[in-house]
A and B are shown apart, each in its own frame.
Chain A
């Protein structure tokens, strides 16, 4: 699978050095995800879930081991290639939605389309469509401060899908939502995954959300195992 579709993680280790010494956050993590697959990664706080997600998204580089996404290795890319890769291939949804407060909902969703300069002609149409899909068609020109927590996270989902990513990475997407909203957002992610056909990786503490995934991984003290 290394040269084909899917995600291949082999013996990935990640350490952080600090004043208190070196901390091994991930230890020889190995996993393989096929195209169109949806997985949940679970584990206690500090187990390295978000770190693994960042490595998958090319936001960070492993200390050792390799990660291949659809046959490409982000760790070997130069910054320009990496930016292009993230923009075209990866979609992120963070626990804290990280919407830009000075832009409207529609503009926030459009931002990934503008990352490389001139946006595609149909960018606005796609953004509006995605927002309709996530139930925010009536909130296009509102600012993030005027949205509820669930609405903000749905906006973040729409933004993550804007460029049609083949790998959607979600870091505690329901972490700061109430049960109802968390359930709704979880369902939205799965629905959109099915519609877009991408690989969905969700890091979560939420057992209800994890239960909706057919394949789950458990991370404990940096070591990954199938749950």
Chain B
């Protein structure tokens, strides 16, 4: 009996030792990635938040110093901040809606393709693998350049006349939205196509026998079943669109004037053109807060059902 008890306590000890060893090994495996993450994300973030509480003006270094929340007070009263935030929201909302709508339409179309589905997927994925900066350059030169760009050429032939695509404030905004949509719709398309392909065929047959029309099958069956995938795409694309930078920077640089100046670009211009690094940091923190709030809402919506 005693032996038995001893054996149990012994096996308990052994279990603890093994568990400790396992934990140590796991920690050792985790450490490099964890340290790298701390160094490249957490530390810069904290540094950014710290900087935002200083006046740090490279043009007037003599005035530098700790100002507490002064930058944020300025920011709340800054019309250009509010206008860039609005542009960011318009840009994000329109690109995400367009991506999901077009991506879903393409996915539904391709699902019904009997042949060439593979080729279509390969071609569709190409824009995603391009760097946004390259995409911006291509659109600025090949597509939107007056007279010579493909889009302008088509507009002239369609009788609309040559347009100053990147010089007109409204057209410039439309252009950057189209560029972002063009590049990232394939992502939504691929995710939704995969999700569509995983839906069982027989429930559609059941719905046909239940006398549902094509539209009713889409509304009542496809959409609800795709909902998780759609919400995921919306969350991922929203976070990226809010922090978009390279394509707009290369195409319009935020212009004309501030017509396409999203919050990210405003923070960049403030920091590196006007060299007002403290205030630029405050703008970047504001963008961070906005992004966290919006994704928080989206994740809550995702959990809601």
A and B interact: no
